[in-house]
Chain A
Amino acid sequence: MKNQKCKGMQDLLPGDMLRFRRIEDTFRTCCRSWGYQEARTPTLEYLYLFTATGTLTPGMLSKVYSFLDWDGWSGERVVLRPDGTIPVARLYIDNLSGQESARLSYVTNIFAFEGTGKKNRERWQCGAEFFGGAKFAPDVEIILLAEDVIRKLGIKNVRLQLSHAGLVKALLREFKLSPAEEAKITDRILEGDWETLTRAKSTHPEMERLMAALLGLKGKSSSFLRNVKASFPTASQDFKSSLEDFLSIATLLDNMDCSYEVDIATMHGFEYYTGICFQFVAGGEKIGGGGRYDRLVPLMNGGDVPACGFALYVDPMMRLLPPEKKKGKSGILVKGKELTPEIVKTCFTVAQFLRDAGYLAEIDFAGRAESDYEWVISVSGKKPSRLVLKDCLKKRRREVTSVAEILEVVGEG
């Protein structure tokens, strides 16, 4: 029987890993320079972290990989981490909650079942979370940090779309639905079904006008939100205060010359968002998203700590990454004329000497193409000159007698 990888899982080949590491390295460098410290959470977490209202939606929960661990006789189920933010919030509560604020970043895999097996069930993401801090500024900071990473990676034609969870929830409350109906519609919206909102009958005629403005129009600046505010003076207090919050962030982004689109329907996926929500779209794919989640830490018994964060999705970004400029020949190939114990030993000694001196040295056992390397060192059993150094760029050969001499020539080259 042929070996097969598990359905929905992916192998990352050397070429993929080069792209993966470019994203990861760029992300880590940016995060460090913005003052975010890297953290890592375990792959297994308890299921109950994700089950309470305000964490993951029932739709997402139905796709988690949950099971009983080897010591799961108590019935406590564990999950393969289905989300990056909730475990980091747990890490913050367990270890860092004494700090007034914490900026944390992480590169992690998350697991979610996908029925067809054609899409990945294991996905990678680079995330950053800001715990504590005042409003508006952290929201803008995480958006600008995410943008910085995307810009440095060279991904073009990226659209930033903004929504606001508080605004959507206030809008829903205007429908005066029963709590059960409201919860049901919220779940549908979070799963991307905005039609459900237009199907829900409003008791107030003003609602239809409001819905048309918010769902039908896509603003490109804070002016749009100001227009909405001016057009609906009778909206509820909840709606107005959420709109005010949205407006403050949009105005700050305008001041920072950050272009965006206000699209209320871009809020989906996570129940824990309470304020601004955003997503980045490129090449028709969502490459990242985030927002403010002020209720999550209190819900997890971590005290009244506001928070916001984002995650960039590595898998679609790998597809959109511009090709790296092709590097010329590099490295040194050390090859033996024959595979005798003496020659192999010399090959290892020479290669290690070069590595210790900071060069990339590879030993050839399988006939690698010499043209891929800058230098090739041939080791033979002959004495006294057992080493031949070939300069693949200048097409020159030279016999050398010691590794020190190799270093001298390579250094000059």
Chain B
Amino acid sequence: MKDHQAGYIKFALPKGRFLSPTASLIAEVDLRFEGYGDKTKQYRLRSARFSSLVAKILREKDIPIEVAVGNYDLGICGSDWIEEYLVKYPAGALMKIASLNYGEGDIHVVGSAQGGITSLNELSARQNDCRVVSEYPNLSEAFALNLRMRRFRIFPVWGAAEVYPPENADLAVLWGRSRAHIAAQGLIPLDKLFPVTAYLVANRESLENKDLSQILMCFDSKLGAGPRTSMEHELVICKELKIPCPLWSAKEINLALPDGHQQAPAAQFLEQAGLTLQGYSEEVVSRRPCVDLDWLGIKVIRPQDMPLQVANGNFDLAITGEDWLREHLCRFPSSPVKKLFGLGFGTVKIVAAVSRDMPVNNIDELRSLVQSGKFAPLKVASEYINIADRYLQDNRINPYKLIPTWGASEAFLPEDADMLVDNTQTGKTLEQHKLRILDVLFQSSACLIANKDSLASSNKKEKIKFLTQKLRAGLKQIENQNAKGKNTK
């Protein structure tokens, strides 16, 4: 914790799904954090009622860790992220104070209608390896261990877990609004782990040593309320659910396409390359777009998850960012994934940046500063945890601590981290947050990646060649158009 914030009570507030109800609660308990609402654009807030109370708006996933490490005294976040932390670190300093009684849905363990697993008993008796995909890898592992599953592999994903079964996973541990909601996605709800409710959480040491009573008293009416129970009737059994079977059949070649920011430029590129897709444009989003090549299967997943999925042979090809490929290869150097060629869109720079108040202009000066004992250990926030780790080791920064984030690392500086390693397109966001770029690690664009074994496979290589030639031709065409455009100008 920084000295200039000593004496303050620090509150971590969520953005995303719980922002709106939490803003209503904050208004109801009269903490008066002006500007905390759906349209908020700032990260830092100050209470108009308590002069010593400050808050920061963080991604919900980050809140349990930030409270546990003592960067925040109090926080509000969903029970799913709390349990994901507690199941791995039960002796950690994260304390649940009270359920705030708002939230929606449950964490479910689901199988697929076509996956052949319809009950938990089948899972414990299963002799084969079971692949579990989830945004909650710790909860998934605890579930598998408690069920005494003989052999399992957990695949952590950044999102879209529901799209993996049955071809790419046997089970998924995911959030679902209701069993019917899960069934509507062609999945079988096998077990309900717990309801997702917002909780007030605190750091253990803060509770023991710091006077938080005035703030806790504001939540008076909320304390002691039991956790939200699932609204869904427990007696609804699997057989009564109508589970539509998605139209799916195994394909010879499987391609993963990105969602999120990369979706629009990727869709445009594919269209220009002459690959006609249905369900992969900005207006219509399908996790399984259709294509006019009967041997090609396509799924839309997070670009962050693609290298690992390609490595495991779930996909032969994928369009992702060079940043995520490098992040994967830093962690798994022998992974059978390779970059085929760059696609020229989605270009960002991966940079190391510090607060402008830090008296350093480059990484060498930072090294000296850390060696002098100031900022030791250097706290580094990054969503590219393996790239950041490698960068710090290569530059002999010692000691340091990595703080994994789920994006928006700039919110962590300067109070909760000393440096970030993150991507930037124009550098404007970093500037707005009064940050200084110390180093550009590399430039990253979208690229086509492939599984090395698929490239060598006699059954696949001809079709992969056909597809990559098509994409290369499209790329060439775009490059020519761009060059013409420049000349005309």
- Name the segment of A70-78, A83-91, A317-325 touching the other chain: A70-78
The reply to whether the CB of A227 lies closer than 8 angstroms to some CB of chain B is: no
**Smallest CB–CB gap between A159 and chain B, Å?**
32
The reply to whether the CB of B377 lies closer than 8 angstroms to some CB of chain A is: yes
Q: Are A73 and B335 in contact (CB under 8 A)?
A: yes
Q: Are B149 and A51 in contact (CB under 8 A)?
A: yes
**Smallest CB–CB gap between B82 and chain A, Å?**
17
Residues of A within 8 A of B334 (CB): 70-71, 73
Q: How many residues of A contact B (CB 8 A)?
A: 21
A71 to B333, alpha carbons, bound, how many Å? 7
**Smallest CB–CB gap between B147 and chain A, Å?**
9
Tell me the chain A residues, 52-77 only, with Cβ under 8 Å from chain B: 52-53, 58, 61-62, 66, 68, 70-77
Q: Are B154 and A75 in contact (CB under 8 A)?
A: yes
The reply to whether the CB of A116 lies closer than 8 angstroms to some CB of chain B is: yes
Q: Which residue, B152, B312, B377, has most C-beta atoms of chain A within 10 A?
A: B152
Residues of B within 8 A of A53 (CB): 124, 148, 150
Residues of B within 8 A of A183 (CB): 148
The reply to whether the CB of B346 lies closer than 8 angstroms to some CB of chain A is: no
**Smallest CB–CB gap between A302 and chain B, Å?**
15
Residues of A within 8 A of B90 (CB): 115
Q: Are A75 and B131 in contact (CB under 8 A)?
A: yes
A73 to B151, alpha carbons, bound, how many Å? 16
Residues of A within 8 A of B152 (CB): 48, 51
The reply to whether the CB of A1 lies closer than 8 angstroms to some CB of chain B is: yes
**Smallest CB–CB gap between B304 and chain A, Å?**
14
Find the A residue at minimum CB distance from B146.
Answer: A58
Residues of A within 8 A of B332 (CB): 68, 70-73
Residues of B within 8 A of A77 (CB): 153-154
The reply to whether the CB of B473 lies closer than 8 angstroms to some CB of chain A is: no
The reply to whether the CB of B145 lies closer than 8 angstroms to some CB of chain A is: yes
**Smallest CB–CB gap between A343 and chain B, Å?**
40
A200 to B145, alpha carbons, bound, how many Å? 25
Find the B residue at minimum CB distance from A183.
Answer: B148
Given A61-B145, A74-B312, A115-B150 contact (CB < 8 Å): no
Find the A residue at minimum CB distance from B333.
Answer: A70
Find the A residue at minimum CB distance from B310.
Answer: A73
Q: Are B308 and A76 in contact (CB under 8 A)?
A: no
A66 to B144, alpha carbons, bound, how many Å? 14
As a 0/1 sequence over residues 300 to 316 of chain B, the CB contacts with chain A under 8 angstroms (1 = contact) are: 00000000100110000
Q: Are A48 and B150 in contact (CB under 8 A)?
A: yes
Tell me the chain A residues, 173-211 only, with Cβ under 8 Å from chain B: 183
The reply to whether the CB of B376 lies closer than 8 angstroms to some CB of chain A is: yes
As a 0/1 sequence over residues 131 to 151 of chain B, the CB contacts with chain A under 8 angstroms (1 = contact) are: 100000000011011101111
Find the B residue at minimum CB distance from A72.
Answer: B332
The reply to whether the CB of B91 lies closer than 8 angstroms to some CB of chain A is: yes
As a 0/1 sequence over residues 148 to 172 of chain B, the CB contacts with chain A under 8 angstroms (1 = contact) are: 1111111100000000000000000
Residues of B within 8 A of A76 (CB): 153
Q: Are B124 and A73 in contact (CB under 8 A)?
A: no
Residues of B within 8 A of A72 (CB): 332
Given A70-B334, A75-B155, A52-B91 contact (CB < 8 Å): no
A51 to B132, alpha carbons, bound, how many Å? 15
A77 to B151, alpha carbons, bound, how many Å? 10
A70 to B331, alpha carbons, bound, how many Å? 6
As a 0/1 sequence over residues 1 to 41 of chain A, the CB contacts with chain B under 8 angstroms (1 = contact) are: 10000000000000000000000000000000000000000
**Smallest CB–CB gap between A352 and chain B, Å?**
40
A230 to B101, alpha carbons, bound, how many Å? 59
Q: Are B312 and A73 in contact (CB under 8 A)?
A: yes
Sort chain B's interface into a size bin. 20 to 34
The reply to whether the CB of B399 lies closer than 8 angstroms to some CB of chain A is: yes
Given A1-B373, A1-B376, A73-B308, A62-B145 contact (CB < 8 Å): yes
Residues of A within 8 A of B311 (CB): 73-74
A66 to B153, alpha carbons, bound, how many Å? 12
Residues of B within 8 A of A115 (CB): 90-91
Given A51-B151, A53-B124, A75-B154, A58-B145 contact (CB < 8 Å): yes
Residues of A within 8 A of B376 (CB): 1
A72 to B386, alpha carbons, bound, how many Å? 14
A115 to B93, alpha carbons, bound, how many Å? 12
Given A73-B332, A115-B91, A1-B150 contact (CB < 8 Å): no
Residues of B within 8 A of A52 (CB): 148, 150-151
A48 to B336, alpha carbons, bound, how many Å? 23
Tell me the chain B residues, 40-96 only, with Cβ under 8 Å from chain A: 90-91
**Smallest CB–CB gap between B98 and chain A, Å?**
24
As a 0/1 sequence over residues 91 to 116 of chain A, the CB contacts with chain B under 8 angstroms (1 = contact) are: 00000000000000000000000011
Residues of A within 8 A of B399 (CB): 1
Looking at the complex, which one of B124, B142, B155, B308 makes contact with A62 (CB distance below 8 Å)? B142
A61 to B328, alpha carbons, bound, how many Å? 28
Q: Which residue, A53, A61, A75, has most C-beta atoms of chain B within 10 A?
A: A75
Q: Are B131 and A58 in contact (CB under 8 A)?
A: no
Q: Which residue, B308, B312, B332, has most C-beta atoms of chain A within 10 A?
A: B332
**Smallest CB–CB gap between B255 and chain A, Å?**
19
**Smallest CB–CB gap between A297 and chain B, Å?**
15
Q: Which residue, A51, A61, A66, A68, has most C-beta atoms of chain B within 10 A?
A: A51
Residues of A within 8 A of B149 (CB): 51
A116 to B333, alpha carbons, bound, how many Å? 35
Q: Are A75 and B153 in contact (CB under 8 A)?
A: yes
Looking at the complex, which one of B141, B145, B155, B377 makes contact with A1 (CB distance below 8 Å)? B377
**Smallest CB–CB gap between B427 and chain A, Å?**
33
**Smallest CB–CB gap between A90 and chain B, Å?**
14
- Return 20 A-B CB contacts under 8 Å, by A number: A1-B376, A1-B377, A48-B150, A48-B151, A51-B144, A51-B145, A51-B152, A52-B148, A53-B124, A61-B145, A66-B141, A70-B332, A71-B334, A71-B335, A72-B332, A73-B308, A73-B312, A73-B331, A115-B90, A116-B91
Instruction: List 10 tightest A-B contacts by C-beta distance, closest first.
Output: A75-B153, A115-B91, A73-B332, A48-B151, A73-B311, A52-B150, A53-B148, A73-B335, A71-B334, A61-B145
Residue ranges of A at the interface with B (Cβ–Cβ < 8 Å)? 1, 48, 51-53, 58, 61-62, 66, 68, 70-77, 115-116, 183
Q: A48-B152, A76-B153, A183-B148 are in contact. List 16 more A-B contacts (CB 8 A).
A: A1-B376, A48-B150, A51-B148, A51-B149, A58-B145, A62-B142, A68-B331, A68-B332, A70-B331, A71-B335, A72-B332, A73-B312, A75-B154, A75-B312, A115-B90, A115-B91
